[in-house]
Structure 1
Amino acid sequence: MTTYRCEQAWLPQGITRDVLITVADDGTIAAITTLDAPGEGWGPRGGEISLRGLVFPGFANAHSHAFHRALRGRTHGDGGTFWTWRERMYALAAKLDPDTYLALARAAYAEMALAGVTCVGEFHYLHHAPGGRRYDDPNAMGVALIQAAKDAGVRLTLLDTCYLAGGIGEPVSAEQLRFSDGTAQAWASRVADLEADATTRIGGAIHSVRAVPRAALSEVGACQGPLHVHLSEQPAENEACLAAYGRTPTELLAEAGVLGPRTTAVHATHLTAGDIALLGGSGTGACFCPTTEGDLADGLGPARELLSAGSPLSLGSDQHAVVDPLVEARALEHGERFRTGQRGRLSPDELLAAMTTAGHTALGWPEAGQLKVGAPADFVAVRLDTPRTAGCLPAQAMFAASASDVDTVVVGGRVVVRDGGHVLGDVGSLLAKAIEGLWA
């Protein structure tokens, strides 16, 4: 067993000083105790590993497209729109194979670990070779992602994504052939060969109502594990859905029977009051990606209304314009302030839930996301004595701290990040090598 001594820890009952977390050999939390003499030194004591600052449960990144990391800082020269950004994304996708994807995803996941992410939800739609040709292993790209997460030391939920159309009533384009299995049955057959393990879980995804025809929604929604879907990210999606089906995307999903507690609507930006009621009433989660939604000028979704209606909120980094769960959390609240002119729309406890428990539940890890006995030993120590955090109240650390303040990250009892450095070494160099090779 290994014992970690936490200067402060955010336990389910609140922030507590001088906490010992004992990790069993199977990587779960065996015991949590509070010391009798708070503040008594911080050197090594009897083999304990000391964690300064505030120890959070591990952060969940509920929405990732790993290959988009290679787009950071490369899409802003002419402004453009979401749709012109998408063309740049297609050009990048065409360059990847299982080996280059492994290198890029490994580095991208390591960057997430440096920011305190211990579990990633990968919305995976880059399945096949250029032209739609199947690799010898039809899941070679997904297997690369699974290996990348293992190498980076984080948990992964592979949300294998069904993508069958180029738009409502349109065939897939040449660029989209890599994404498509042709039919929902072929998609489900391929996904059935993916294997979960101790650090990997498998789920499914409906790319969007643009990419999965109405007749296939129920079949895709019958997949095992968590189900995610891009929902109402753009007004054009809503307009096309209304024109084709006479329903909003949310109403179409409700009609297909795919809403519910195991489903997460990603973005959920342009919603009607009726959409909010359907999502909340069914217990469907909502994953907001504030830095990406800002980067792509998508707009601000109704976070408070969804949470109040019954939709758990989680957070994702999506295209990784920023990889920082603490920044995403306060951007969620700041978005509410921009949208309404009111402060305190989401409390620190609600933001913490979005970063931890709700995110893990959305990814099919309901046992994770809290510091409690029996949970996976996944936690993050954030320094409270840096130029950014000095003087802040611990309970409001997410309004002050950033990824730069993450000192130690533990996943399954294993130290993945220590003193702000990843076990893989220089992550910046890993990223640079992987990305420069793609754009050379």
Structure 2
Amino acid sequence: MKSFWCERAWLPDGVASRVLVRADRGRIVSVSTVDTIPLGCERLYGMVFPGFANAHSHAFHRGLRGRTHGDGGTFWTWRDRMYELASSLTPDSYLRLARAVYAEMAVAGVTAVGEFHYLHDGGNEMGEALRQAALDAGIRITLLDACYLAGGIGQPVSGVQERFSDGTGEKWAARVSDLREDDNTKIGAAIHSVRAVPRETLSLVAGAFPDRPLHVHLSEQPAENEACLEAYGLTPTQLLAEAGALSPRLTAVHATHLSTSDIHLLGSHGVGACFCPTTEADLADGIGPARELNDAGSPLSLGSDQHAVVDPLLEARGLEHGERLRTGQRGRFAPAELVAALTNHAALGWDAGRIEVGAPADLVAVRLDSARTAGCADEQVVLVATAADVSIVVSGGRVVARNGVHETLGDVGRLLTEAL
């Protein structure tokens, strides 16, 4: 049995003070308020949130940070740089890099990551490296194994894209079926995009693993929509609907350039939407209709995608700031809605993201006395704090990070420097 005393805690029914959380075998067994701090418990000062979920990650993209800005360019020229990086990785080097990236997430408060994985090499060695990396970093992983069969609509894969492809949808499904879940790993599926999965294969991928999470890059770029309309006379959302892919188990990543009917289709089917505000800004993707999607019935989640920034609190704030820039209105999302997106583990298939009995003992203590947070209202912490204010991170009842240093892996900057 482990005990954690929280100065303040973000509970399902609101913020409470002097909260005692007891955990056994990694799960919360009691939550109560106390007048006296019990002996022997871990003290968590500031505001304690449930563990954060990073619902969309490409771990190897971390190698691009600070290396793609010199000549401006576009999303498509950025993609060329990404392909160059992908061509250089081996299972061993990917393990080192992903371990460092997941450690960077852990010290920022992430306790579960959705890894949108398409660097396959026709086998599962890369996927197993990602599984081990998450275990080493002390966070749970949902390995969203992506089907990638085409270099564009009507185009074969070429060059490094051959490392992404299994050749056919059937071969992709057979390989993914060999992956096994465990206490720290869930296996999900992904349609890389309607550019990379042909129309005739979409329904196979969507139906291959019906009880597991399914993710898709959707309408990130106007060029994707234009190509899809020209080839099929349908938007990417309509094409997914035709394939029977729309359901609550699906999460649409980015969902930036959507029509009104697209928004209605996604929301009416309960499809989740994962926004990655810092990546979408970095790549000049645009600002998606987050409020409209949420109002239509799409639960929101957040991801760091290419890891231009690894700071879940900035992603949450970016969701609101994007809405303000897009509409000229403040308060498009209440702080509680931002925290709900920040802690949406359901998009990854985990029953987590809340401080209550039965949930995993995932706790993130955020300082209230820093230069950024001093004087803020309790309920508005999410709008001022950054990852630099995360003091202690507990994952599954175990402290994994203190004051920006990983408990077992040490200094994250050193890890990243060595891996890169």
Give the structure-1-normalised TM-score: 0.94
Is this contact kept in 2: 1:146–1:200, CA < 8 A? yes
- Within 5 A, what are the aligned runs for 1:102-121? 102-121=95-114
1:190-243 CA-to-partner distances (Å, cap 9, x unmatched) read: 000101100100000000000000010011011321000000000000000000
In the aligned structure 1, how far is the partner of 2:39 from the partner of 2:16? 21
Q: Give the whole-Å Cα distance in 1 for the aligned partners of 2:222 and 2:160.
A: 23
Aligned to 1:413, which of 397, 405, 416?
397
- Aligned partners of 2:53, 2:345: CA distance in 1, in Å? 6
Describe how 1:239-278 pairs up with structure 2 within 5 A. Answer: 239-278=226-265
Post-superposition Cα deviations, 1:84-117, rounded to whole Å, max 9, x if no partner, equal: 0000000000010000000000000000011100
Q: Which amino acid is 2:77 matched to?
A: T
Give, in whole Å, the separation in 2 of the partners of 1:237 and 1:219: 21
Letter in 2 for 1:346: F
1:322 counterpart letter in structure 2? V
**Structure 2 CA distance, aligned partners of 1:387 and 1:152?**
29
Equivalent positions of 1:21-420 (< 5 A) are: 21-24=21-24, 26-35=25-34, 37=35, 45-128=38-121, 134=122, 138-224=123-209, 225-356=212-343, 359-365=344-350, 367-420=351-404
Structure 1 residues 399-424: Cα deviation after superposition (integer angstroms, max 9, x where no partner)? 11000000111111011012332121
Q: Contact 1:384/1:392 (CA < 8 Å) preserved in 2?
A: yes
Q: Distance in 2 between matches of 1:245 and 1:68?
A: 31
The one-letter code sitting in structure 2 at the alignment partner of 1:197 is: D
Task: Please give the alpha-carbon distance, in whole angstroms, between the structure 1 residues aligned to 2:403 and 2:101.
Answer: 19
The alignment status of 1:9 with 2:2, answered yes or no, reads no
Unaligned runs of 5+ in 1: 129-133, 436-440
Normalising by structure 2, we get a TM-score of 0.98
Partners in 2 of 1:303 and 1:419 — Cα distance? 32
User: What amino acid maps onto 1:158 in structure 2?
Assistant: L
Where do 4+ consecutive residues of structure 1 move more than 2 Å?
none
User: Within 2, Cα distance between the matches of 1:401 and 1:344?
Assistant: 17
Counting matched residue pairs gives 417
Contact residue 107 and residue 402 of structure 2 kept, 8 A: no
Q: Distance in 2 between matches of 1:394 and 1:112?
A: 24
Give the deviation of 1:126 after TM superposition: 0.4
Which secondary structure state, in structure 1, belongs to the residue aligned with residue 151 of structure 2? coil
Asked if 1 retains the 8 angstrom alpha-carbon contact of 2:107 and 2:403, the reply is: no
Q: Which amino acid aligns with 1:201?
A: K
Residue 173 (structure 1) shift = 1.3
The residue matched to 1:109 in structure 2 has which SS?
Answer: helix
Question: Quick one: distance in 1 between partners of 2:403 and 2:173?
Answer: 43
Q: In 2, are the aligned partners of 1:9 and 1:54 still within 8 Å (CA)?
A: yes
Query: What secondary structure is seen at the aligned counterpart in 1 of 2:60?
Result: helix
Greater CA deviation, 417-426 or 269-278?
417-426
8 Å contact from structure 1 (residues 203, 223) kept in 2: no
**Are the equivalent residues in 2 in contact too, given 1:93–1:126 (CA < 8 A)?**
yes
Q: Note the alpha carbon deviations across 1:47-94, whole angstroms, 9 max, x for none.
A: 111000000000000000000001000000000000000000000000
CA–CA distance in structure 2, aligned partners of residues 118 and 68 of structure 1: 20
Identity of aligned residues (%): 69
Amino acid across the alignment from 2:255: A
Q: Cα offset for 1:350? A: 0.6
Counterpart secondary structure, 2:66: coil
Counterpart Cα distance in 1 of 2:192 and 2:213: 14
> What letter matches 2:23 in structure 1?
V
Whether the aligned pair in 2 keeps the contact of 1:168 and 1:213 (CA below 8 Å) is yes
Conserved in 2, the CA contact under 8 Å of 1:51 and 1:381?
yes
Q: CA RMSD in A?
A: 0.8
Letter in 1 for 2:32: T
**In structure 1, what is the Cα distance between the partners aligned to 2:249 and 2:198?**
21
Distance 1:73 1:8 in 2: 37
What secondary structure does 2:349 align onto?
coil
Task: Give the whole-Å Cα distance in 2 for the aligned partners of 1:240 and 1:15.
Answer: 48
CA contact (8 A) 1:300 1:335 kept: yes
1:380-409 CA distances to partner (integer Å, 9 max, x unpaired)? 000101111100011100111000000111
Distance in 2, Cα, partners of 1:123 & 1:395: 32
Q: Secondary structure in 2 aligned to 1:387?
A: coil
Q: List gaps (5 residues or longer) in structure 2.
A: none
